[in-house]
Chain A
Amino acid sequence: MATGDLALGHEQSKSAVVDAQQRVVNDFSIQVATVNGSGSQSANSVLLKSIFNMGVPVSGKNLFPSNIAGLPTWYTIRASKDGYVARRKKIDILVAMNAETAREDILGLHSGSVAIYDETLNLSQYRQDVVCYPVPFDKITAAVCPEARLRKLVKNMVYVGVVAHLLQIDMSSVEAALAKQFAKKQKALDLNFGAVRAGAEYAAEHLSKQDPFLIERMNSTAGKIIIDGNSAAGLGAVFAGVTVVAWYPITPSTSLVEATIEYLKKFRVTEEGKATFAVVQAEDELAAIGMVLGAGWAGARSMTATSGPGISLMAEFSGLGYFAEIPGVIFDVQRTGPSTGMPTRTSQADLLSTAFLSHGDTKHVILLPGSVKECFEFGYAAFDLTERLQTPVFVLSDLDLGMNNWMSDPFTYPETPLDRGKVLTAEDLNRLGGFARYADVDGDGIGYRTLPGTDHPKAAYFTRGSGHNSKAGYTEKPEDYLEIMDRLIRKFDTARTLVPAPVVTGNGKASVGVIAYGSSDFAVVEALDELKKQHAVEVDYMRVRAYPFTQSVHEFVASHERIYVVEQDRDAQLASLLKLDLAADQAVKLHSILHFNGLPIDAESILTELVVKEGL
């Protein structure tokens, strides 16, 4: 019974470790446990944005199953006055909306945390040391939502109201978030806001605050945006003038292409209603990358987006793209292994296979964005690089970065003109009297190409794999092959100077260095702050942002005694890739901190290992 449960809650709070007087402001995490397909996404997003609207740094993560409806899903929101946005292991507030997992969910809480749940679940029986707030969700929902079929959805907004009230989030912040969520849908807005208010009113009347967690207005989110990495990358591609997109749906990359399509439709249709782009949903990833290379060969800025299983299907074409020297951008939003692995969980385990994807001596240029801002910037830069270098360029992000919402500074407009690379026109050919497609005229390993349709009798050349001489003529001579292979290495060295350089923090005097990439950054930064705070140990940190590694990576390793390579895969792939580049006496300095359970890496895990390994 509701009242009884509530009474129990009161009683418990006495035994709970929580001291309500000791306020915990703007620094805690909320976990909403629901069933996927129940429509909780908009509610979670409204809750996240409400906190954001309070000026409090916030991040949200969706932990969802590979399923359309009916399986457990968790959404975690972290508010952090210090601006830490990595996943936090510890959950402070549980909103248990899934009867199936509720028991497990509450048992997983630490002492002193909070549980909000449907009163019928009677969760207080399981924990004496957790503050319990039972809520009659169905009753409240029924009162504000006469249409029975909408109740399942609207119910989610009721918990938003309850949480908002308990955390003292201003109703105006919630309303603003709702208005954005349901822009132009007045009826939906009214209904949902009604539900939020009903939740808040219930909490005001029936729940007395027993926990220390509060949101207080700050000014740390002014001017910031909230976006997921996939949308950011798609936006980058659109501003890079992508013209051909070929793809095959796969989580977690689907939303990257869907966002790209949205932006293309908005910004790239002429006044006459004609498209300045082509999007093809291909029959599979083999076809997708084939289309990308065909288009790149014929002069288009082309892209595809996929994830591990798709990357493996793209292997053969990637090799052809490398040897035939054709531009094309491939986004790989990494996830754990096979389609029947944990396909909706994050990972960084495609790094090695992507670096050498395909047959023969292939090596690929890879960009490694570490924030949504870099998803945008690298999503843009990849197109300049691929055309400049005439080789496929991979952009490796991951599910955590790609599908979750992140706070960011607004993106800056790329003012530099598009770099379309070394392309000869008919006029150039008139002047030059012809050209040799694979000659290294400039000494940077990059030849000049022409596009089909160039109106000159000497414009054409024959494209094939590596069996060609500098004039693109057929050859199987060893010396010609060596020339091609050596030049490709020269080109890779040129790439080294063009890709985004690593970002280094620290004073450079520490004996210990940390190297990481991509979405691990958020957790690493937090872990290193904690290391300093808790152990007074300072380390230097290098975040690599591309492969091939720049010279500065060698210098960083050389100038430290021990290097911890933090990454989200089992086999220490980044460390392995680094070791391939490093001299033997440097390679031994590398030690790994690995996180690969499918959940985004967190600071606590890194810190714990660092402390043990450093014997602190």
Chain B
Amino acid sequence: MATATATPTGTPGPKVNRIGLPVLEYRGGKTTLCAGCGHNAISERIIDALFEMGVQPERVMKLSGIGCSSKSPAYFLSRAHSFNSVHGRMPSVATGAVLANHTMMALGVSGDGDTASIGMGQFVHMMRRNLPMIYIIEDNGVYGLTKGQFSATADIGSKLKTGVINDLPAIDTCAMAIQLGATFVGRSFSGDKKQLLSMLKAAVAHKGTVMLDVISPCVTFNDHEGSTKSYKFMQEHDEPINELGFVPSFEEIDIEYDAGTTTDVTMHDGSSLRLRKLREDFNPTDRVGSVRTLMEAHENGEILTGVFYIDTAKPTFTDLLNLVDRPLGTQPESVTKPSAAVLQKVMAGLQ
């Protein structure tokens, strides 16, 4: 195994992953977010997931919009190119980047404001295209960076520190993503290390749009009694619909199999995602059922977490475009510039 060669026996050097990198190589700059901000915990889980999955950092492109959440790509994976773009428009930038180099792993970080308000148009269309990328919403129900206004994912009835009550219904980005065509949709909580890590690892193995809505309390503006996106509320109301076990393709599958209560999904790279059902009626490959489950949860005032929907068969946007294997961005001139003879022929046709 890679770890064996990279860590010579006897010398207790830093633990390295299967490609021989220590976790340090997955870190980023020092965070400038508030201490205790849920976004920081998510950055940590991203670092863990990429490290554990043995992803080559240079093979990742990080993309984000604008917001506290969108700053966070600066705080993990410094060895990967990153693009902090404009508010709400990261999906288009990601689309362009993926088209230029579809061999890379694209990892997008957005906020609930960045996605569900200003960025809704682009979000919708990216989901619909099933663009191969991981799209994470760090969802705190407020605009952190502009100091605490409600976002469109704030639950109806939730209260700001200032006492303002949100009287509009929340947009459920997961339900939307499923309906629109994303092929891996889940919700987690920044404070749930285990669940979030498994989900992120499975996301790495998926080919297609992964949409993860991660509840991520804003300790400065939205972590108090009355906020449905607070640590306390989440700890009390989090209802996991399934328990995740993820086995990467390079590990042996030896977890016990409990017929009837688990669903195994084979991911694109051969990894296996095991979903232990907590809800008997839940089948993550049934779009209609998934959306219904989410809608029912809203009616009951529950916040569901888990993987809601997986489809490993649907072609991605780059599949549909029938691209050549080599990235478009580095195609040689001999391929991209037609010959003089071709121009001559075109000219002759116009005479």
Q: Which of B89, B324, B346 contacts A290 (CB 8 A)?
A: B89
Q: Is the CB of B336 within 8 A of A290?
A: no
A562 CA / B346 CA spacing, docked (Å): 44
21 contacts between A and B (CB under 8 A): A223-B351, A225-B351, A235-B346, A244-B328, A275-B323, A286-B121, A287-B89, A287-B95, A290-B86, A290-B95, A294-B85, A294-B94, A294-B95, A294-B99, A295-B96, A295-B97, A295-B329, A452-B104, A453-B101, A460-B78, A464-B84
Chain A stretch 274-290: residues in CB contact (< 8 A) with chain B: 274-280, 282-284, 286-290
Q: Is the CB of A302 within 8 A of B100?
A: yes
Q: Which of A224, A288, A413 contacts B340 (CB 8 A)?
A: A413
Cβ-based interface call for B23 (8 A): no
Given A291-B95, A298-B61: A276 and B347 interface contact (C-beta under 8 Å) = no
Cβ-based interface call for B122 (8 A): yes
Which residues of chain B have C-beta atoms less than 8 A from A289's C-beta?
92
Q: Is the CB of A290 within 8 A of B85?
A: yes
Q: Which of B32, B59, B99, B121 contacts A278 (CB 8 A)?
A: B99
Q: Is the CB of B83 within 8 A of A463?
A: yes
Could you tell me the distance in whole angstroms from the C-beta of A343 to the nearest C-beta in chain B?
Answer: 22
* Shortest Cβ distance from B70 into A: residue: A464
A49 CA / B83 CA spacing, docked (Å): 51
Given A225-B347, A320-B85: A298 and B329 interface contact (C-beta under 8 Å) = yes
Q: Is the CB of B96 within 8 A of A274?
A: no
Cβ-based interface call for A451 (8 A): yes
Q: Is the CB of A452 within 8 A of B81?
A: yes
Cβ-based interface call for B255 (8 A): no
Cβ-based interface call for A511 (8 A): no
Q: Which of B59, B322, B350 contacts A274 (CB 8 A)?
A: B322
A297 CA / B93 CA spacing, docked (Å): 9
* Shortest Cβ distance from A284 into B: residue: B121
Cβ-based interface call for B1 (8 A): no
Which residues of chain B have C-beta atoms less than 8 A from A295's C-beta?
96-97, 99-100, 328-329
Cβ-based interface call for A293 (8 A): yes
A109 CA / B81 CA spacing, docked (Å): 65
Which residues of chain B have C-beta atoms less than 8 A from A302's C-beta?
96, 100
Proximity string of chain A (475-517) to chain B, C-beta cutoff 8 Å, 1 when within and 0 when not: 0000000000000000000000000000000000000000000
Which residues of chain A have C-beta atoms less than 8 A from B121's C-beta?
283-284, 286-287
Known: A283-B122, A293-B93, A453-B61. 4 other contacts (CB 8 A): A273-B322, A290-B93, A294-B92, A460-B82
Q: Is the CB of B97 within 8 A of A224?
A: no
Cβ-based interface call for B8 (8 A): no
A244 CA / B95 CA spacing, docked (Å): 10
Proximity string of chain A (445-465) to chain B, C-beta cutoff 8 Å, 1 when within and 0 when not: 000001111111101111111
Q: Which of A239, A279, A450 contacts B337 (CB 8 A)?
A: A239
Q: Is the CB of B331 within 8 A of A241?
A: yes
Q: Is the CB of A297 within 8 A of B321?
A: no
A415 CA / B97 CA spacing, docked (Å): 29
Chain B stretch 295-351: residues in CB contact (< 8 A) with chain A: 318, 321-325, 327-331, 333, 335-338, 340, 342-344, 346-347, 350-351
Q: Is the CB of B58 within 8 A of A455?
A: yes
Q: Is the CB of B92 within 8 A of A287?
A: yes
Query: 5 smallest A-B Cβ distances: which pairs?
Result: A294-B96, A290-B92, A299-B329, A241-B336, A295-B96
Cβ-based interface call for B74 (8 A): yes
Proximity string of chain B (119-162) to chain A, C-beta cutoff 8 Å, 1 when within and 0 when not: 00110110000000000000000000000000000000000000
Q: Which of B323, B325, B329 contacts A451 (CB 8 A)?
A: B329
* Shortest Cβ distance from A420 into B: residue: B333
Binding site for A on B (CB under 8 A): 25, 29, 32, 57-59, 61, 63, 73-74, 78-86, 89, 91-101, 103-104, 121-122, 124-125, 318, 321-325, 327-331, 333, 335-338, 340, 342-344, 346-347, 350-351
Cβ-based interface call for A226 (8 A): yes
A295 CA / B98 CA spacing, docked (Å): 7
Q: Is the CB of B122 within 8 A of A268?
A: no
Which residues of chain A have C-beta atoms less than 8 A from B95's C-beta?
246, 280, 287, 290-291, 294
Q: Is the CB of A453 within 8 A of B58?
A: yes
Cβ-based interface call for A410 (8 A): yes
Q: Is the CB of A287 within 8 A of B84?
A: no
Cβ-based interface call for A549 (8 A): no
Cβ-based interface call for A317 (8 A): yes
Q: Is the CB of A300 within 8 A of B329?
A: yes
Could you tell me the distance in whole angstroms from the C-beta of B177 to the nearest C-beta in chain A?
Answer: 16
Which residues of chain A have C-beta atoms less than 8 A from B335's C-beta?
270, 276
* Shortest Cβ distance from B340 into A: residue: A413
Q: Is the CB of A226 within 8 A of B350?
A: yes
A298 CA / B133 CA spacing, docked (Å): 15
Which residues of chain A have C-beta atoms less than 8 A from B333's C-beta?
241, 417-418
Given A239-B337, A241-B336, A273-B322: A452 and B97 interface contact (C-beta under 8 Å) = yes
A494 CA / B337 CA spacing, docked (Å): 26
Q: Which of A278, A457, A474 contacts B74 (CB 8 A)?
A: A474
Could you tell me the distance in whole angstroms from the C-beta of A430 to the nearest C-beta in chain B?
Answer: 14
Cβ-based interface call for A227 (8 A): yes
Cβ-based interface call for A16 (8 A): no
A463 CA / B331 CA spacing, docked (Å): 23
Q: Is the CB of B94 within 8 A of A451?
A: no
Q: Is the CB of B324 within 8 A of A276?
A: yes
A378 CA / B32 CA spacing, docked (Å): 45
Q: Is the CB of B343 within 8 A of A413?
A: yes
Which residues of chain B have C-beta atoms less than 8 A from A316's C-beta?
86, 89
Q: Is the CB of A453 within 8 A of B103?
A: yes
Which residues of chain A have C-beta atoms less than 8 A from B93's C-beta?
290-291, 293-294, 297
A178 CA / B74 CA spacing, docked (Å): 62
Could you tell me the distance in whole angstroms from the C-beta of A328 to the nearest C-beta in chain B?
Answer: 9
Given A274-B324, A287-B92, A295-B100: A453 and B59 interface contact (C-beta under 8 Å) = yes
Q: Is the CB of B322 within 8 A of A460?
A: no
Which residues of chain B have C-beta atoms less than 8 A from A225's C-beta?
347, 350-351
Q: Is the CB of B58 within 8 A of A418?
A: no
Could you tell me the distance in whole angstroms from the C-beta of B195 to the nearest C-beta in chain A?
Answer: 29
Q: Which of B79, B122, B329 contacts A287 (CB 8 A)?
A: B122
Cβ-based interface call for A240 (8 A): yes
Which residues of chain A have C-beta atoms less than 8 A from B82's C-beta?
460-463
Which residues of chain B have C-beta atoms less than 8 A from A270's C-beta?
324, 335
The residue among B122, B333, B336 with the most chain A CB atoms within 10 A of its own CB is B336
Which residues of chain B have C-beta atoms less than 8 A from A88's C-beta?
none
Given A290-B92, A411-B343, A452-B81: A297 and B324 interface contact (C-beta under 8 Å) = no
Q: Is the CB of A461 within 8 A of B323?
A: no
Could you tell me the distance in whole angstroms from the C-beta of A459 to the nearest C-beta in chain B?
Answer: 6
Cβ-based interface call for A116 (8 A): no
Could you tell me the distance in whole angstroms from the C-beta of B119 to the nearest C-beta in chain A?
Answer: 10
Could you tell me the distance in whole angstroms from the C-beta of B313 to the nearest C-beta in chain A?
Answer: 22
Q: Is the CB of B328 within 8 A of A276?
A: yes
Cβ-based interface call for A531 (8 A): no
Cβ-based interface call for A301 (8 A): yes
* Shortest Cβ distance from A289 into B: residue: B92
A282 CA / B96 CA spacing, docked (Å): 11
Cβ-based interface call for A296 (8 A): yes
Cβ-based interface call for A56 (8 A): no
Q: Is the CB of B324 within 8 A of A244?
A: no
A320 CA / B56 CA spacing, docked (Å): 29
Cβ-based interface call for A243 (8 A): yes
